[in-house]
Amino acid sequence: MCGILGLYDMDGRDLPAELVLRGLDAMKERGTPHGSGVALYKPVGVPRVKAFSERPAEDGISVRLPGDLYDLTFFGSPANVEGVVYLNSRWLDVYKAVGWPRDIDSIYDLSSLSSSAWLGHTRYPTNSPGRYPYYSHPFTAGDMAIVHNGDLSSYGSNVNLLAYRMGYRGFTGNDSEAIAFLLKELSDRLGVDGAIRELMYGDKFRWARLDGPYAVAFLMGGPTPVFGAFVDAQHFRPIYVGISDGVLMVASEAAAIRSVLGDARYWALRGGEYIVVEGDEIRGNFKRRYSYDKRMPSVPPEPYIDASRFSAVDLAPHIRPMLERGDEVRVVGAAGHRYLGNGMGSGVLRIWGVVGNASANVMSGGSIHVYGDVQDDFGDAMNGGTVFIHGNAGDTLGQAKRGGSIYVYGDAGNRAGIQHRGGALLVGGSAGDYAGEYMGGGILMVLRVTGSDDMGFRIGSGMVGGRIYIRGMIPHERIGRVMRRELLERYLRSMLDDGALSASAYERAMDGDLSVLSRATRRILTGVNPLKVEYRRLNDTDMRVVGPHLRAFEDAFGVSVDPAEEFTVVEPLGGRAAEEPSVGE
């Protein structure tokens, strides 16, 4: 739930700390008063050593913190530091404490600082206390600093690698700290790109792979700082990337990028993707998404409600009585404002800007028109009404939706239509992994007419009802729980290493003979819900269901779809026994 961000100027220009604070302010609902901090590229000729202590320094700089603790700074190599050392770097500096980001500014006068590269974090503690500053982010290991949003279930094995094979001791117990040390050590051995891949997949170092939800941004010191971000393969935590005028920014929310970079183009990393920037070079395995050229309707004349006058959570209750009366409500300048239209049963809501998380939830009537993007968890448990989104949608769009219609001009993130039970969900561009996962009813259409990006993987995984239509032919390995060969190989290798599989059984399984595996193992690898997949044109029965929605899409966005084109149609097989799937290429 934490909010993370990073800024990097590819021309080496200094960026003021106020930009970092502004971005963190936009994600305040992701944090608590239990910790925040920043890291910045700030080279010095000798090691900069920082520690939290119960006593002020005798030969260093001391800053008194709330809770009768001191933040100590030394230059050089102090002989003995009493306290918890959290920085030892020639290239980086870190400021962190217990409090909100603006509290950190008050303590350290962050506003006076500038740098070409920054990390920022606002904390929502989950697995370690929030009363001590050394649990706050960023965490560092030598010249590597990271900020993290998520929870690692692999912390024990990750620390074992660091302790027993790399010689580290004295961890605080915070899972995020392990990421900093692993990224530093693996970068020394494999390079930054190799280290990221190792953390995601663990091919070379046992116990290195991170397991659980995570989104990480990092900054590595050196003559030219290296900056980047990556997300877990299942994409349980979001991270957006934006670029404007030579500045690259990553953040947990699109609204944060808008608040710092204005109208910059931005997109979301999908599961298992990463981006690295070093000087003016950008590299990684990412694809630029969530960008579109559609011209938005201009801001209306007054009367309208200026969202900037309200906090992220105060706007929703302000407009609720107006909607209950059936009024038309116009909101301009939305910047991550949450819960808009929740429980809405009547009226018309028009919003210009970026709509925050968990909006249009449990909606039962009326209509919402968004002239911009929506973030995660939009339309959860929707029962009725109609929504038109003239931009893109984040993750888990229409989760557990039971009725009504949602139309999206652009792309949708991961898990669009997860547990979808009724009504219609149409996406004009593409959708990420797990589209229609555990779907139980209604229709999900991905039209791929406003963008040509590939669909994600595991479409319809666990699907038990409803129907998915995707324009064009989608490769079979992207549908359901088809085994991707590299994932199968890693799983079987771990069984071989643990003695749960013989060498001969391993070879036979890798050759495609899964009969050597137990039924339970086959189900883990392939799932239990068989799917019917057809590549065909829409027939009369289809058109009676989807035709009205295609017309509504065209009327709203001015984009038509030729129903004579071929579609990939996915639905449950209807109780027939599943065939053993083959190994994917």
Tokens matching residue 193: 């790109």
Percent above pLDDT 90 for the chain: 75
> How wide is the angle at C-alpha 306 spanned by C-alphas 301 and 309, nearest 5°?
160
What does the pLDDT read at residue 583? 38
Mean pLDDT of all residues in 515-544: 83
Strand partners, 139: 146
Mean pLDDT calculated for residue range 133-157: 93
The pLDDT score that the predictor gives to residue 580 is 36
- The pLDDT assigned to 581 comes to 38
What are the structural domain ranges in the chain? 3-39+91-284, 44-88, 485-526
Residues with Cβ within 8 Å of 295's Cβ and at least 6 positions away in sequence, in order, are: none
First to last CA, the chain: 36
- What is the tally of helices (H) and strands (E) in the chain? 10, 30
pLDDT for residue 576: 40
Question: What is each CA distance from 169 to 147, 162, 163, 165, 420, in whole angstroms?
Answer: 21, 8, 6, 11, 47
Tell me how far apart the alpha carbons of residues 472 and 195 are, in angstroms, rounded to a whole number.
Answer: 36
Q: What is the pLDDT of residues 269-292, one digit of tens each?
A: 999 999 999 999 999 999 887 655
Average pLDDT, the chain: 91
Beta bridge partners of 8: 117, 248
Which is higher by pLDDT, 386 or 79? 386
Q: 585 pLDDT exceeds 70? A: no
How many residues make up the chain in this entry?
Answer: 585
Residue found by looking up tokens 């909006």 in the block: 359
Tokens describing residue 304: 């309208």
The answer to which of 139-143, 167-171, 372-376, 579-583 has the lowest mean pLDDT is 579-583
Helices (H), 202-261: 254-261
Using the predicted structure, report yes or no on whether residue 483 has a pLDDT greater than 70.
Answer: no
SS (H, E, C) 56-95: CCCCCEEEEECCCEEEEEEECCCCCCCCEEEEEECCEEEE
Sign of CA pseudo-dihedral 136, 142, 148, 151: negative
- Name the amino acid, one letter, at 431: A
CATH number of 3-39+91-284: 3.60.20.10
pLDDT band for position 22 (cuts 50, 70, 90):
very high
Distances (CA, A) of 86 to 60, 92, 264, 562: 15, 12, 34, 60
Angle at 160 between CA 159 and CA 164, to 5 degrees: 120
**How many C-beta atoms surround the C-beta of residue 238 within 10 A?**
22
Residue 265's pLDDT band, with cuts at 50, 70 and 90, is confident
pLDDT of residue 573: 85
What 3-state class would DSSP assign to 579?
A: coil
pLDDT attached to residue 577: 33
Name the pLDDT band for 492 (thresholds 50, 70, 90): confident
Please say if the pLDDT value at position 522 is more than 80. no
What is the distance of C-alpha 78 from the center of its chain?
40
What phi and psi values does residue 218 have, to the nearest 5 degrees? -140, 160
Pairwise CA distance, residues 191 & 327, whole Å: 58
User: Which pLDDT belongs to residue 198?
Assistant: 95
Q: Give the pLDDT confidence score for residue 452 in this predicted structure.
A: 78
Mean pLDDT confidence for 205-234:
94
Rounded Cα gap, residues 454 and 436, in angstroms: 16
Which value, to the nearest 10 degrees, does the dihedral of the CA atoms of residues 136, 140, 146, 151 take?
A: -60
> Helices 485-497 and 519-526: crossing angle, nearest 10°?
140
Please state, for a pLDDT cut of 70, what percent of the chain lies above it: 95
Q: Supply the pTM of this predicted model.
A: 0.88
Of 22 and 577, which is predicted with more confidence?
22
Q: Sign of the CA dihedral 296, 297, 301, 307?
A: negative
C-alpha torsion angle, residues 164, 170, 172, 175 (rounded to 10): -10
Listing DSSP states for 438-504 in one string gives T-EEEEEEE--SS--PPP-SSBTTT--EEEEEEESPPPGGGBTTPPPHHHHHHHHHHHHHTTSS-HH
Mean pLDDT, residues 205-232: 95
> pLDDT band for position 248 (50/70/90)?
very high
pLDDT digits (tens, 9 = 90+) for 423-466: 999 999 999 999 999 999 999 999 999 987 889 999 999 999 99
C-alpha count within 13 angstroms, C-beta hemisphere, residue 411: 25
The Cα–Cα gap between 313 and 64 comes to 33
Which residue shows structure tokens 């009205």? 548
Q: Is 353 exposed, middle or buried (0-12, 13-18, 19+ CB in 10 A)?
A: buried
Strands 240-244 and 405-408: unpaired
* pLDDT number for residue 482: 65
pLDDT (0 to 100) of residue 579: 35
Cα 296 to Cα 300: distance, rounded to the nearest angstrom: 11
The radius of gyration of the chain from alpha carbons, rounded to an integer in Å, stands at: 25
Distances in Å between the Cα of 322 and the Cα atoms of 347, 368, 383 are: 8, 14, 20
Task: Express each pLDDT in 40-95 by its tens digit.
Answer: 999 998 999 999 999 998 888 999 998 889 999 999 888 778 889 999 999 999 99
How far apart CA 564 and CA 548 sit, in angstroms, is 15
Q: For 115, list phi and psi in degrees, rounded to 5.
A: -165, 160
Residue 5 contacts residue 122 (beta carbons within 8 Å):
no
Average pLDDT over residues 152-164: 91
Residue among 411, 502, 389, 518 at smallest CA distance from 455: 411
